[in-house]
Structures are given as structure tokens and as C-alpha cells.
Chains A and B, each alone.
Chain A
Amino acid sequence: MHVSPLSWIALTCAIVAAGIMLYYLVKRPPLDAAGKSVMMLGVGVLPIMVAMIGNMEGLAATEHQSFCGSCHTMDMWIEDANDPESESLAAIHSRSHKFGDKSCYVCHKDYGMFGYAMTKIGGMNHVYEFLSEWMWYDRDEVIEKIHIVRPFKNENCMQCHSMTGKIWNEAADHRGLLEDLRTGKTSCASAGCHGYAHPFSKPDEETPSHAETHSALQAPAAEGR
């Protein structure tokens, strides 16, 4: 468990604030001007600092795999993403240091001006869905029933793979489907192209063979170099 320096500052504030409040509860000092000033610190200023740091740290934590994986429904997705032998898109991207521990968030977040807020609102929907239904399902039921709330956007792939690179455009399929890819009509992460990002979750659907996936991934890998 990594605890950041900010969290230690927040904890110190919390301990001081708790000390002030406990002192009041035990000793009941008179609430004159000095007493009120101290209580203002204990009930107002310090807890507000704890809340502010808690918000910063909490929101930062929501970007990590460990947060996504804290719901058991996501266990298999996290396991696949962190499997060094897996050749799924999710695993390949998670092995890149640009994604790493934040691979779920980097791929699935919304981009643009309101992207962060929209992602958080979407996250609240996930919490609702989990509490109202999915928390009762075991792994087998999850893999049978789970689905992405809306099709994965190519825009998210395009944050890194801009579709303007020379090597990217050398692939005939890319050139032929350029308009469809940019408009999202054809998904990058579909069976005929780079394969599903989490192929294990689609056992009954058509998935490209290992060789197809591997060869299809050579172009972006080369582009990275």
C-alpha cells in the first residue's frame, strides 16, 4: 500500500482535529472567543483540509487498476490485463509504461473538455449498476452477462494512434477504411481488425486467430518505434 505525502498531511490534520474535538467532549471548556477559535480549527479548518486532500487523492485513486479491480466483477479483466503471457489488446497496452497501472482509465475514459466529468458520471452509473445487480453475480454469471455500456470509441485509440502516421497509413486496410475508422463506423477493436480488447469475455463470438492479431499489431508497434 502506497501512501502519498499528501495523505500523511491529511492524516496529521485529522489527528489534530480529532484531538481538539475529543478534548472538548471530555473536558467541556468554556466556549469563549478563544475556545470558539480553537473549535473553528478543529471542526472547520482542519476537517476541510482533510476533505480537500481526500478529494484529490480519492479522484487520483479512481484512475488506477486497483480501483477498477476493487469490484469483483472486474477481476478477470484485471487478471488478463496483467497477464504477461496474454496477447489481448488490453494486456499489450497495459505492458506499456504509458498505460501501466492506469490502463483501464486511459483507454476507457472520455476525452475532451468535459471528459473528466463525464467519466466520473459514467463511473457513478457503474456504482449504481454494481450495487443494484452485479454484486450478486459470481464470475461465471458475470462473464455471461456483462457488456460495455456503449461501443468502444475509436476516438480513444486515436488519442495515441493519430491515424496520420506514415507507417500507420502504409497498411492497406487502414487506408481503405480511413473514413470509417475516423467516424467510428468500423471499430479498431473488432474481430476483423485488431480483435477485441478483452477477447476472453467473448468466447462465442468470432475472434481473430493469434497469428492475425499478432500481425495486425505489428503496424502500431512499429509506429511506436
Chain B
Amino acid sequence: MGEEIVRALRGVSLQIQRNEYIAVMGPSGSGKSTLMNMLGCLDTPTSGRYQFNGRNVAEMNDDELAAIRNREIGFVFQTFNLLPRSNSLRNVELPLIYAGIDPETREERATQALVDVGLGDRLHHKPNELSGGQRQRVAVARALVTRPSIILADEPTGNLDSKTGEEIMALFEDLYYRGNTIILVTHERDIAAHARRTVHLRDGVIESDERGFVPRLESVAASYGRQ
């Protein structure tokens, strides 16, 4: 499938390749959220281009953007954003409904996604019956279930204690080793340290773009061990 090229935000020029693990960092007001909204096709740039899998997102209408979000982007939010009255399975199935997938396939894929994040035994629990970490795992499963090109995580550990946060980061590590592209938006250096590339934003401009991070040994070992 080619490359994902991004050019946005007051002269910001950014190019993200398939199977990159990138963290976007910056203080509040740095344009981090705007960048994330652009990348997630929630918003379109007023000027400039955002090329996604070879298509210019800036020219798309609302329904085309919705379709891109549905198929190509998996969102993981700080506040999980699960539907409170639906169980894990139904939450994970939701993007598949919007994709027009039939009920049997839906359930099968949602179940698999939940098993993949280690929640095979929590399929019929509602969000209020799950711990914070489990909720975020459901959200990750929901992001994965459509097999998107990008997983876009906005402060995924912001509402979790550090131990649970580490568990979620280990999950991302795992996803990365399975070939997913992950974009992490965070202001925590510890969390950003998991990524292979870190982009620092300040006042809508890229301050630094560092590559060549060596992953911590134990998470690599864990990932290899599972494969």
C-alpha cells in the first residue's frame, strides 16, 4: 500500500510510513490536538494537503471522511469513550456495523479482537463492570477490529495508574510488532519513550523529530515470546 504522507499545521511537514511507532509530544497549545484531529480525519486543513494512502483528505466531504475513519483509523481515547450501556462485544462491534458487515462476521471478528487484547473472558461485561485498564483494552480492541492503517492513541494512559498504563503500553508494543502503525499523542516523556520516533511540537511548528529509539528488552522479548 504505499506510504502515508502528511503535510499540515502552519508549515508543518510530516511523513509517516507504514509500521512506524511515532509519538507526538508537546505542551498544551502546541497544536498537538489539531495535528491529531487532522491525522484522524476528524478535521480537514483549511489550507495545505493531507495525503492519506495516496488520497487528498482535504478535498473529502463529511461522509467520505467518516468512511476513512471507519476503515483506516482506529481511535484510542484518553477517556476510553465506550458506550456505557453496551457490553464489550457490542462496543467492539460498533465500527463493523458502520462498515456494513453482517452480524455473524461482526461477532466473530469482535470476539477475536477482544481475545487478542486479553479480554476473551470479558465479552459480555459492561464498561462499569470492568477496571480502567480493561476498559482501555476494550477500546484498543475496538480500534483494531476494522484492521485499520493507523492506530491513533490520544493520551491512552492519561486516565490510568502507572502500572495499568504500562500494561496498555505493552499492548501497543505488541501491536507494533504485529505490523500495525501507531501514532501516540502524549505529553508524558515516559509514555513517549515507547515509540521509535518522537516528534516535538511547539507553537504549531515541529521543534524536533528524533528517530532511532531502542526498545526496552523485556517488551521485545514479551512480544517475540507471543509470536
Say if A and B assemble together. Answer: no
A interface, CB within 8 angstroms of B:
none
B interface, CB within 8 angstroms of A:
none
